[in-house]
Amino acid sequence: MGDVAKDLTSGTIGGAAQLIVGHPFDTIKVKLQSQPAPLPGQPPKYAGAMDAVKQTLAAEGPRGLYKGMGAPLATVAAFNAVLFTVRGQMEALLRSEPGATLTVGQQVICGAGAGVAVSFLACPTELIKCSRLQAQSVLADSASAGVAVKYGGPMDVARHVLRSEGGVRGLFKGMVPTLAREVPGNAVVFGVYEALKQYMAGGPDTSKLGRGSFIVAGGLAGAAFWLTVYPTDVIKSVIQVDDYKNPKYTGSINAFRRIFASEGLKGLYKGFGPAMARSVPANAACFLAYEVTRSSLG
């Protein structure tokens, strides 16, 4: 099996593990990010992450935590295959000779390149997952939103966007903040992952590391992703949930300014707790599954 096929297979399995472990945390993150600012004197819909979990379970049961998973599950193969395959091909280009270990700086470059590629899959997938499925119960309960729950699933969302929200262009709403998240975020992920592996191995040869090392390095690399780009992710979410006919925001910069003006720095970190709680186990599962599968394939 060639290197591309190995990366495709390993990335797919790693992505599936990441999604299964992390999706409930992601649902809570999106609910907290997308809830409208409360009226003066009124409490927010969710007091915090645990309150969002309790309300979701009470209203929708455990399935509510996995709402919107159909779209990313359907595309997780393509998303992670692209991420790890593009990274692998960039590694091959940067190596001085076959089999040579790359530096941390070179892994940062590989991660940034992979981030560009995956943005074109992440944007439409997350628009469907975030703005139309995970967030719709929040928007339906908002007096200011004036909308009702109206989507039966991912395909229903896609049909609506293509028909009523600008066609294919509508599926790529929020592309700029998606790129602004994925490029630096994946540069940090792969840079931190490689740096931690080399640190634990005591040098550039990481071939003897065990599964525990992959879990630690992968989990901390995922945490580094959100520490780097979380406000950008908030901007992406509010842009994607914004009403098509009567938009609240004119663009990413306008969204940033209005959130910061009305809610301060805290507004740019809504849902940060669930995101960080998700990032460690989800990315640990992803990298462990990737490394184990890649190793088993030779």
Domain 3-292, CATH class in plain words:
mainly alpha
Q: How does residue 130 score in pLDDT terms, banded at 50, 70 and 90?
A: low
Nearest to 252 by CA among 263, 242, 244: 242
At 147 the pLDDT is 46
- Please say if the pLDDT value at position 173 is more than 50: yes
Provide the 3-class DSSP secondary structure of residue 39: coil
* Interatomic CA distance for residues 52 and 209, integer angstroms: 39
Residues 50-108: tens digit of each pLDDT? 899 999 999 889 888 887 776 666 677 678 889 999 999 999 999 988 878 899 999 99
What is the chain's percent helix, strand, coil content, to nearest 5?
Answer: 75, 0, 25
Residues 141-166: tens digit of each pLDDT? 554 444 445 676 777 888 888 888 88
Domain residue ranges in the chain: 3-292
Tell me the whole-structure pTM to 2 decimals: 0.80
Q: How far is CA 151 from the centre of its chain?
A: 22
Nearest to 132 by CA among 71, 55, 60: 71
